[in-house]
Structure 1
């Protein structure tokens, strides 16, 4: 089983738990939380997302599981709160959250609301820091050397250090108590070192630890380290504010998706409708949806007719007419008439909820490059600490340049940035998941984005994937004394009560053409032959070759027909691989209806787009070879494998893989499931069989095959962006950490000032997220 596949099937006889995590700032924090969660007995998998500050855990459905997970997170110095718990039975059905464990949704903030609140808090801190900096600078440059100037500087810098730096230091101490060293520890150590140096110079006026410090600055005698510590905290707070704002922007597409379903609905209670939270509406309840409102839950219309905007699911701009008995989906918009809808799937089980769950799954997943970043970050903070202490020792005790030693120590600690490495992958994945969801492309795990970019062979199922999967009336051929409309009218009247798929196509086509007919006076099913009906006292036979007049062969019958579509006579060869239905009245041939499974509207363009990308395209089908080759000719597909069973499809995929190809399989049926599971990337159509969707790595919500080349392009764009993010994050640290440690001082005298180091660190995080946002601008054509 491919990685992530078990999660995609809903973890039968288990549960998926979503936790909100508080206090994470870097990839080291993520690694610590993941280790803590995976250490809980019974946990099958745990994935933490730094961008959304959430953890997704697969664990046994025990009542105390959420509490044990929350305690594990707290044990490493972070806070956690239960967001969602979905328990599933052996048959994959979802059950409500365990008693007492489910949170009240109205008491929880969404991930982006928490990010927005965090951004406001950091903006407040940065503004407070600027006020403190103004006080310190006034004490340094506007006042003469006096106790007043020193007291004012201590007050300004100390207030900022306490109210802005204090929470950072407290978080670092809490994590250190549990053996975790993260970004907070580096920032706290750097800023408190600067503040301590300033305080030492204040207590001991003869001590000079800063090369630019002293009486020369306006004669105040205030230590420059006061301004350094305040500037570092202000810049870091403002950087975290910018980072949070950019993260909120990056989640825009996903926020739109999750906001599609309304929070409340009008549920029928006795003879009245009452506003009720959708989480409290059970299966079987009836809800009222007024004009202009969004449908709250998946259901079936029991009263009313309306046009429904389902564009969020299908991408189709035109509304779909709906009548009683037909299904509607949560998030769709009711456009023209009030509806009463019986709930079929409660909250958490709707198609929209499943889409959101898959998007979350991709966000919290890690491709191979993401796991590489995790391994780098595991060593990053200890290595930075060693570099900082080494630079302190070399410049201080060894060379006697304490001013350079302290500046190097503080600069290395604050310029080091595991955050950029940690955000490099999740930032790109968040944007990609949002783009994919908006275009109807749902990846079940993050690894598929990496694998998809390596695909060089696309294997396409025919029936229901390349074609519509049901017979379509493609031609009405008639004898010289009959009209096509009359032939279709008699056929529709005879077949109106039949449940045969061809009968449905005949009736639908007659209705589409605006042809009306009288109901048949009587009908009789002729097993294996067709149907006999009496219309206006005339016997009409509709069916296969057996209904032809006695002594007339199909070849003779074809010779009597002409087609208004081409104005010529039909040839027997043109009927090969197609279905023909004859219409005979009172023993006289009237015409023939020709049916075929035709290519879907988007198939030809999709195949052409794949061919332009240089991909090898293989059609794979269990249908007869002549039928498969006819479709292949229409779509200009050169390689066809026909008349194969499900296990043969599996072997075809395996053979291509043995030849060294990376194979993507596209299908929609039960018989495609083995091949979908075997392929490097399995792609299922959303309208297909459940087992096909369970076996696939990617689900296309609609039936538009043009989403396949878009999926390939999105994958390649995303992986390119992740590599760009990783490259710049690594280059940033590789270049600036040595400079901050003073590596260039012996040759150039250049040493990065500590405040400048803080600014560089803040900008590195923001630049990675901004680069990820460029995915919105990259074409998918």
Structure 2
């Protein structure tokens, strides 16, 4: 038996670190692990014989820290403040060193010694995180981006010390011009050592801040739940922590308060603001018997709710879990990038040594050779590669959760690019899934009287048809006695002394697109009522938008051809398959796939689960069943077809950002390394470029925070 273990990883500084931990964990028998550099988490599927402590021990032996996740997200402000302080001190000390090196006219007697005084604390104190990480990696026979940075900055600093104390660079009046390329004849590199350290600290600080913002959406999702709740015990009210709620307990929700957990309304009626959870701005009306979701806000009257699901079983917790799981995924191109970054550092060190030897061998001088080698070490950072996918997933999935769209993983994003056909279930997807009165045909009674008497009997019924008639009849209905319901036949009862029967039946000219019932009083037919599952008001616009995305919509339903044709015509769907049994929906998807189509399936019921699993991309309406949601790739919490449009748009946009990030990261390294090896980059400029590349990738991913619904 297998189980999933999640760990919070500390000490990672680049994608190579995450790749190394992942390799070590996957070498354990039966363990399949992924390590996310952006979220600093590891997720492993392990045999039951392994514990979290076993995995933590492996991570610690690799040179990093690991711990099981805390129940509440902890904001590591002290770590960020330490990094900020280190950056500020380094920046203040580095500016004079860089300015003196870049402006020869300001190079007074012994300026080089002042530069050494300012540069030494930057290289030692400011660069300590890089040096410490390099030492840890060295003890474990490994190398990372910090190894390159530490080697580069220490080489520049130690070369400068040798030149100052043992060479001629310490003589009064020594000066040199600044060059953007590898300079010839210069003997000290203090501005490179201090500047590179400061630039990289700035990049790491900005990266940490940007990554923090990338996870804002998930943190806001996790914080939506109520912290305290008022429960009812023997008629008395008592306030307890929401975490202490148990199923079956009655709790009170006053106007303006959040619903503490998932439950069913026992007393009262109100409108719930669900926008924080689903992105849907229209309040949802609830009354006794209706389900409510935790974290929604009571915008109207007083409600008494019976808790049904608490803690990790609530919809909010499941949403957060789906989002976190999705963020562990990796695109196919990202897996290639991970393999490259895993061998990148040793290759770069070899390239730097080769560059040093080449320039010395060509007679260009040790200064030029040294500058080019240091630039190679510093510019070759795989960080941007490691951040390309996880940061975009972090922002994209978080933004999706805010809009009521749960993306299961990067595989779903890749599927949206290929899909060309979208199969739509009718009931609960294109339609509301709730029966409503479509028309009333009076016989021996007026339409109002017919509906009043039928509603009086049906108010005691739990059948969807009965509820629809009772709703249409309104309130203040006469009392019913002797109520009796016969499954598959109808209901009967006595109203105002008359025996009323509501049963299946239709007039002679009835259309086939509706469900009909007849209403009789003491054996006399009072008339007929037609009921239909109403089309969602937004379905037609959603179908049009799906076409604009290059998708061909198709309606598949178990209803009659007449009903299917009516719904399809109302929303503008040309391809229709009616009278399809649940197993037949799977066959429809398979037939489309056999014809070379890539199929997305949108459904909400148990009968849709198999088709959702068979399709290339499954989208489950969040108001549907748990089994349908588990079989899908995307969950639409809004329960509206417009969410499917936004889901495809967001998925494609996120995948586009991922690809853009990876292109930039690859292009940066492909262009930067040859320039550095050719002696065309000053190490300080290389450091600035390297820091910018990582920040650019994260900032590019943050653009997804501005994604808006098309409706």
What is the TM-score normalised by the length of structure 2?
0.90
Residue 601 (structure 1) shift: 2.5
Write the distance in 2 (CA, Å) between the matches of 1:529 and 1:134.
88
Residue 129 (structure 1) shift: 0.9
Write the distance in 2 (CA, Å) between the matches of 1:672 and 1:618.
15
For residue 40 of structure 1, what is the aligned residue in structure 2? 28
Write the distance in 2 (CA, Å) between the matches of 1:138 and 1:650.
70
Write the distance in 1 (CA, Å) between the matches of 2:502 and 2:621.
34
Classify 1:722/1:531 alpha carbon distance in 2 versus 1 (closer, same or farther; 3 Å): closer
For residue 650 of structure 1, what is the aligned residue in structure 2? 586
1:157 and 2:93 equivalent? no
Write the distance in 2 (CA, Å) between the matches of 1:38 and 1:177.
21
Classify 1:320/1:680 alpha carbon distance in 2 versus 1 (closer, same or farther; 3 Å): closer
Match of 1:542 among 502, 511, 525: 502
Match of 1:752 among 681, 684, 699: 681
For residue 477 of structure 1, what is the aligned residue in structure 2? 441
| Unaligned residue ranges in structure 1 (runs of 5+) | 1-12, 84-102, 546-553, 559-571, 746-750
For residue 418 of structure 2, what is the aligned residue in structure 1? 454
For residue 649 of structure 2, what is the aligned residue in structure 1? 713
Q: What's the secondary structure of 2:433's corresponding residue?
A: coil
1:611 and 2:547 equivalent? yes
1:236 and 2:200 equivalent? yes
Residue 229 (structure 1) shift: 0.9
Write the distance in 1 (CA, Å) between the matches of 2:173 and 2:673.
28
Write the distance in 1 (CA, Å) between the matches of 2:250 and 2:58.
42
Write the distance in 1 (CA, Å) between the matches of 2:566 and 2:265.
40
For residue 429 of structure 1, what is the aligned residue in structure 2? 393
Residue 154 (structure 1) shift: 4.3
1:175 and 2:137 equivalent? yes
Residue 312 (structure 1) shift: 2.8
Residue 764 (structure 1) shift: 0.8
**1:370-519 maps to which residues of 2 (within 5 A)?**
370-479=334-443, 482-511=445-474, 515-519=475-479
Classify 1:775/1:213 alpha carbon distance in 2 versus 1 (closer, same or farther; 3 Å): farther
Residue 457 (structure 1) shift: 0.9
For residue 698 of structure 1, what is the aligned residue in structure 2? 634
**1:142-153 maps to which residues of 2 (within 5 A)?**
145=109, 153=115
Classify 1:476/1:214 alpha carbon distance in 2 versus 1 (closer, same or farther; 3 Å): farther
Write the distance in 1 (CA, Å) between the matches of 2:280 and 2:387.
35
For residue 87 of structure 2, what is the aligned residue in structure 1? 126
Q: What's the secondary structure of 2:8's corresponding residue?
A: strand
Q: What's the secondary structure of 2:477's corresponding residue?
A: coil
Contact 1:289 1:339 in 2 (8 A): yes
For residue 523 of structure 1, what is the aligned residue in structure 2? 483
Classify 1:472/1:334 alpha carbon distance in 2 versus 1 (closer, same or farther; 3 Å): closer
For residue 563 of structure 1, what is the aligned residue in structure 2? none
For residue 65 of structure 2, what is the aligned residue in structure 1? 79
Q: What's the secondary structure of 1:205's corresponding residue?
A: coil
1:580 and 2:507 equivalent? no
1:216 and 2:175 equivalent? yes
Residue 381 (structure 1) shift: 1.9
For residue 765 of structure 1, what is the aligned residue in structure 2? 694
Contact 1:273 1:288 in 2 (8 A): no
Match of 1:58 among 35, 38, 45: 45
Write the distance in 2 (CA, Å) between the matches of 1:409 and 1:123.
30
**1:282-361 maps to which residues of 2 (within 5 A)?**
282-284=246-248, 291-300=255-264, 307-322=271-286, 326-336=290-300, 341-361=305-325
Write the distance in 1 (CA, Å) between the matches of 2:499 and 2:512.
29
Classify 1:133/1:222 alpha carbon distance in 2 versus 1 (closer, same or farther; 3 Å): farther
Write the distance in 2 (CA, Å) between the matches of 1:431 and 1:701.
18
After TM superposition, the structure 1 stretch with the greater mean CA deviation from structure 2, 415-424 or 323-332, is 323-332
For residue 602 of structure 1, what is the aligned residue in structure 2? 538
Contact 2:107 2:175 in 1 (8 A): no
1:254-301, Cα deviation, whole Å (9 max, x unpaired): 23212212455567899774553x555544556565553433433345
1:678-724, Cα deviation, whole Å (9 max, x unpaired): 11111111122222112111111122101112222222212222221
| Unaligned residue ranges in structure 2 (runs of 5+) | 178-184
Root-mean-square deviation (Å):
3.1
For residue 159 of structure 2, what is the aligned residue in structure 1? 197
**1:100-139 maps to which residues of 2 (within 5 A)?**
103=70, 105=71, 109=74, 113-114=75-76, 117-133=78-94, 136=97
Count the aligned residue pairs: 699
Q: What's the secondary structure of 2:519's corresponding residue?
A: strand
Contact 1:118 1:241 in 2 (8 A): no
Write the distance in 1 (CA, Å) between the matches of 2:487 and 2:232.
47
1:626 and 2:555 equivalent? no
Classify 1:373/1:780 alpha carbon distance in 2 versus 1 (closer, same or farther; 3 Å): farther
Write the distance in 1 (CA, Å) between the matches of 2:470 and 2:643.
32
1:223-263, Cα deviation, whole Å (9 max, x unpaired): 63222211111111011111222222333322321221245
Residue 126 (structure 1) shift: 1.7
Contact 2:186 2:367 in 1 (8 A): no
Contact 2:160 2:189 in 1 (8 A): yes
Write the distance in 1 (CA, Å) between the matches of 2:233 and 2:523.
61
Q: What's the secondary structure of 2:534's corresponding residue?
A: coil
Residue 16 (structure 1) shift: 3.1
After TM superposition, the structure 1 stretch with the greater mean CA deviation from structure 2, 713-722 or 305-314, is 305-314
Contact 2:20 2:342 in 1 (8 A): no
Contact 1:286 1:340 in 2 (8 A): yes
Write the distance in 2 (CA, Å) between the matches of 1:540 and 1:168.
85
Write the distance in 1 (CA, Å) between the matches of 2:465 and 2:99.
88
Residue 507 (structure 1) shift: 0.7
Residue 577 (structure 1) shift: 3.7
1:365-412, Cα deviation, whole Å (9 max, x unpaired): 012122122122223222222221111111235425111112112111
Write the distance in 2 (CA, Å) between the matches of 1:594 and 1:291.
38
Contact 1:489 1:516 in 2 (8 A): no
Contact 1:139 1:152 in 2 (8 A): no
Match of 2:7 among 19, 22, 25: 19
Write the distance in 2 (CA, Å) between the matches of 1:150 and 1:616.
71
Residue 476 (structure 1) shift: 1.2
Classify 1:740/1:265 alpha carbon distance in 2 versus 1 (closer, same or farther; 3 Å): farther
For residue 610 of structure 2, what is the aligned residue in structure 1? 674
Q: What's the secondary structure of 2:685's corresponding residue?
A: helix
